Amino acid sequence: MNMKINTQQPRELRQQLEELIGDIKIKRLFIGCGLFKDEDLFGMCQGEILYLKATGELAKYFESLGAVSYLITAPNSRLTISNYYRLPKYVMDDKKAFKRCLILSIEQAKKLRIAIELSKKRRIKELINLSIKHERLLAKIQVYDVKTFKTVGAANCYVRLKKLGISVNVSLYWSLAAALLNKYVILLTSQEKKKLIAELNTALWNAGLKPVKTE
């Protein structure tokens, strides 16, 4: 199915994007109009052009599709914005392909925000859902700070605790995993929980332990 994106009409643009990715907000910025999913800026519009935000591997992927950087499309601009990309027309006109690019951009923007927020915290007890009790528990597996916690991951922490003979349950795992998403447990979606449980069961399987079951 093909679709035409109208960047000149903010209301129509929002309706078109919301058909693909749900609720978004369009806010005026000094660079034009910013596209936000929840609190994450994932794109912008300038005149008739829509750009999606991308860095690293995602930027390379967009370039492989034929996308070009803002600096190329607006060479006379005083703004040195290199991490915004204009997708080629064939992608913009293809509903499925365009939706995939939107989702990838949103997911990366969210991950970058969470990484920045977590980088400001050093002690585990400062994270959402966690307390000094969790900090002491993780210290038993040589996880003493947020940086190490992020590196090891919630699933591997759970496995290490279990292998030490420490009583653990799914509720603890939700708290650990949600903390690394900078999110309260109660706000985890069913899709997020499904993905997190799959990660935990893979880690348990690799360690020779029984997988957990959830309702």
How confident is the model over 117-122, as a mean pLDDT?
Answer: 82
For residue 191, pLDDT over 60 is answered with yes
For residue 72, pLDDT over 90 is answered with no
Distance of alpha carbon 91 from alpha carbon 4, whole angstroms: 10
> What pLDDT digit, counting tens, does each position of 7-16 carry?
557 778 888 8
pLDDT value, residue 119:
79
| Average pLDDT of the chain to the nearest whole number | 89
pLDDT value, residue 12:
82
pLDDT value, residue 206:
95
Contacts of 198 (CB under 8 A, 6+ apart): none
Distance of alpha carbon 147 from alpha carbon 210, whole angstroms: 28
Which of 116, 151, 154 shows the shortest CA–CA distance to 39?
A: 116
**Domains, the chain:** 10-118 (3.30.1460.30), 121-206 (1.10.150.20)
How confident is the model over 195-206, as a mean pLDDT?
Answer: 96
**pLDDT-based confidence at residue 204 (cuts at 50, 70, 90):** very high
* Residue 54 to residues 40, 88, 214, Cα–Cα distance (Å): 13, 15, 35
**pLDDT-based confidence at residue 46 (cuts at 50, 70, 90):** confident
How confident is the model over 58-81, as a mean pLDDT?
Answer: 78
For residue 20, pLDDT over 50 is answered with yes
For residue 66, pLDDT over 80 is answered with yes
Percent of the chain past pLDDT 70, that is, above it, reads 92
Distance of alpha carbon 97 from alpha carbon 91, whole angstroms: 6
